[in-house]
Structure 1
Amino acid sequence: MRHTLPLAPQFYVTAPQPCPYLEGRMERKLFTALQGDGAQRLNDSLSKQGFRRSQNVLYRPSCADCAACLSARINVAEHTPSRSQRRTLKRAGHLERRATSPWATEEQYALFRRYLEDRHATGGMADMDSFEFAAMIEETPIRTRVVEYVEPETGELVAVCLTDVFDDGVSMVYSFFDTDQNGTSLGTYIILDHIRIAQEADLPYVYLGYWVPGSDKMGYKAGFSGLEVYSGGTWQKMRDPKDYDSKRHPLSNDPIAEQVANISLPDSRPLRTRHE
């Protein structure tokens, strides 16, 4: 018997687990599989509605009593680097950028392990082995690149970003870097360089993942001008971060059925073939 994929994506909800961003909260995710011929089109559409990709899954926070996690993106045309960001561009401007196909290497994994041990030793990815790392990099059904940053004189790999390409921007899925180079601000530089990548490709947005009011881990995202957040079903310019504290209220989230009913899906027209 021949089995075919459902015509419309099926959405599911994860079991609650401790929130990694806000102490004492429980998180829950709404997710769907990313597969088939329409994967790129589905990813483009749902990413504009606050979803993020993890390998072959698209997910969006859907907590029962909190809506603090807000998808964030930089409007490239509205971005002006701050004085400190201009210094970062100057300090790290000598690095060589290499954009490659999504293929994991031993050098990437070694840098990834050092990064986790220094920054996220107790995080959810701390036990990720080389096979799981390769899956994170390589299991993608859409247009994805690995953007590497290399010291030109020595060839040393100092930073990496797994980057998806949308029809309206680039999405920084996950980045890691050499934490010994504290004075270089490599994390900030990767974002600033992705703004340049978007400009070079004539794409209007750089998607950063989630910004969470009240979370120190995510506070750095609010430091980029031109920032927009997805709130109340629309993208809006970032206001004072304190204005979003209400999103942590137990009544700030809609029921799951209502959330799913309000998701806009792409039409069924076939994708055009794009030569890369």
Structure 2
Amino acid sequence: MTANLREIKVFTTFPHRCSYLPEKEATTLFVDPRQTISPELYTELSLMGFRRSGDHIYRPHCNNCSACVAARVVTSGFKPSKSQRRVINANGDLRLEITDSVSGDDEAYALYERYITGKHADGDMYPPDREQYESFLNNSLGSTRYFKLYENNTLVCVAVSDEMLDGFAAIYTFYDPNLEKRSLGTYAVLLQISHAKKRGMPYIYLGYWIENCQKMSYKTRFQPLEMLIQGRWYGDTGDKPSDLSPIPVVTLPSDL
């Protein structure tokens, strides 16, 4: 880690209801939004388990809970499973376009609206709002890439991913809720893994895995998987997240 990490100012939220485990109370640690975030610093923050939402970089900082575990796929060792190969084959007809922005893209926002309304009407992002959408998916770092998939000439999926020095961070994916059979969420992760491998990037950061949260369970289907536990990255050596072995230490700054 570079010395300047120790100089970063951070803030914590007041305790609030956890959006993943409703019976739990959560606290979030935010990097000062006035902090200049270089690609190098963003990468190092990701190594310490931070994530981005809009212009905010954060990680869980709960006193009595450590359920949120940062997870990343090791691209060099990844081989798609039989079911993942079926997903790849099923979507071979889609056209991929990678862009640096979806700001002002009415087709992308219309797809986002359909996705939130059709899949997450009981969630925090319902009802969909254009301003919230823009602030959530675009950022001022200049690192975001949008993997846009088209069926013929119709946009059916957008995977939002941040490019760092050591790989990509999968931020969010939204797709046509009427195309469930395509498994576009899985395909979006597979695309990012494939793109990172071609670029020689070692990791895809998948955000937080939570053992008792069903909607997070899909992350363990991408192997080999590494998890950040008490400041150290551990490699998954078996078929379940409990089969972990230590890999080189990532030291956390003493003031975080």
TM-score, scaled relative to structure 1: 0.82
Question: What do the CA deviations read for 1:20-65 (whole angstroms, capped 9, x no partner)?
Answer: 2123111111111355654322211100110001122110111121
What's the counterpart of residue 106 of structure 1?
A: 106
Q: Which has the larger radius of gyration?
A: 1
The 3-state SS of whatever aligns with 1:180 is: helix
What's the counterpart of residue 270 of structure 1?
A: none
Indicate the structure with greater strand content. 2
With over 3 angstroms needed to count, the CA separation of the structure-2 counterparts of 1:33 and 1:21, relative to structure 1, is same
Q: Within 5 Å, which residues of 2 pair with 1:68-107?
A: 68-104=67-103, 105-107=105-107
Q: Distance in 2 between matches of 1:167 and 1:260?
A: 20
What's the counterpart of residue 126 of structure 1?
A: 126
| Moved segments of 4+, more than 6 Å | none
Question: Which one is further off, 96-105 or 165-174?
Answer: 96-105
TM-score, scaled relative to structure 2: 0.88
RMSD of aligned Cα (Å): 1.9
Number of positions where the alignment pairs a residue of Structure 1 with one of Structure 2: 241
Q: Which amino acid in structure 2 is aligned with residue 177 of structure 1?
A: Y
The 3-state SS of whatever aligns with 1:112 is: helix
What's the counterpart of residue 250 of structure 1?
A: none
How many Å apart are 1:129 and its aligned residue?
A: 1.0
Q: Distance in 2 between matches of 1:85 and 1:38?
A: 35
Q: Distance in 1 between matches of 2:191 and 2:15?
A: 36
Q: Which amino acid in structure 2 is aligned with residue 228 of structure 1?
A: E
What's the counterpart of residue 51 of structure 1?
A: 50
With over 3 angstroms needed to count, the CA separation of the structure-2 counterparts of 1:135 and 1:23, relative to structure 1, is closer
Which sections of structure 1, spanning at least 5 residues, go unmatched?
A: 1-6, 245-258, 264-276
The 3-state SS of whatever aligns with 1:261 is: coil
The 3-state SS of whatever aligns with 1:15 is: coil
What's the counterpart of residue 66 of structure 1?
A: 65
What's the counterpart of residue 248 of structure 1?
A: none
How many Å apart are 1:131 and its aligned residue?
A: 1.6
Q: Distance in 2 between matches of 1:262 and 1:86?
A: 45
How many Å apart are 1:216 and its aligned residue?
A: 0.4
Question: What do the CA deviations read for 1:85-134 (whole angstroms, capped 9, x no partner)?
Answer: 00000001221111111232111111111111122112111134112212
Q: Distance in 2 between matches of 1:37 and 1:116?
A: 32
Q: Does 1:156 align with 2:160?
A: no
How many Å apart are 1:260 and its aligned residue?
A: 5.7
Higher RCO (CA-CA < 8 Å; seq separation 6+): 1
